[in-house]
Amino acid sequence: MKNLFKTSLTALLCLCASSAFAGLPALSDHVFAKGDALGSVTVGVGSGFSQKLSFDYCIVDGWINDRASLGIGGAVGNNLWWSGTDDLAFMATCSFHFQFIDKLDTYVISGIGGGVRFWDARDGHGHDTDGFFEYTEALGVRYYFTPSFSVNGEVGYTCGSYIMAGISWKF
């Protein structure tokens, strides 16, 4: 009985969400469609100053009244911690995009990977390195000025930063 209730509730929520999105204005163009590739350069602040290069490729589109899509990709990031430590991270990412209005792409990105941390040796001579696990989870928004150029912003956690902004190009 519990499973039937959960299934019915899930179906009802999906129906309500679909009806709610049906009232959105019609789209003249999809900003992230199957086969699109995005390259982004972002900078941010948090526990240090971060820079990130990322790539996102759309593998599926047409979800939720033809407004949602799924992407996969990767990122290379660097964080210069306020303490002087330097991190270099590599991540595999997955993203979910939803377009409410023309030229505006909202997305959620999640990723995992690893990296190398460079820090001063304890004896004060030279540097030591250490490996670490890295992840990213962020909410983002991207506004397109032209069909291939946009600005973007993200909040969440990426490469040691909690807020990032940058530019993106669609290929």
For the domain that residue 87 is a member of, what is the CATH number? 2.40.160.20
d(CA 142, CA 151): 6
pLDDT at 71: 95
Task: State mean pLDDT over 75-102.
Answer: 89
Please check whether residue 5 lies inside any domain of the structure.
Answer: no
> Is residue 72 in a domain?
yes
In a domain, 109, yes or no: yes
Q: Which residue has the higher pLDDT, 36 or 32?
A: 36
pLDDT exceeds cutoff 90 at 17: no
Residue with the bigger pLDDT between 80 and 167: it is 167
For residue 40, pLDDT beyond 90: yes
Look at residue 8 and tell me if it is in a domain.
Answer: no
- What is the C-alpha separation between 94 and 105, in angstroms, rounded? 15
- Would you give the end-to-end CA distance of the chain in angstroms? 50
Does residue 59 belong to any structural domain of this protein?
A: yes
Q: What is the mean pLDDT of residues 66-85?
A: 88
Domain count, the chain: 1
Residues 6+ apart with CB under 8 A from 12: none
Domain that holds residue 75: 28-170
Q: Mean pLDDT across the chain, nearest whole number? A: 82
Span 45-68, average pLDDT: 89
* Residue 132 belongs to a domain: yes
Per-residue pLDDT at 8 exceeds 70: no
**136 is a domain residue:** yes
**Does residue 52 sit within a domain?**
yes
Please answer whether residues 165 and 49 qualify as being in contact, where contact means their C-beta atoms are separated by less than 8 angstroms.
no
- Predicted confidence (pLDDT) at residue 111 exceeds the cutoff of 70: yes
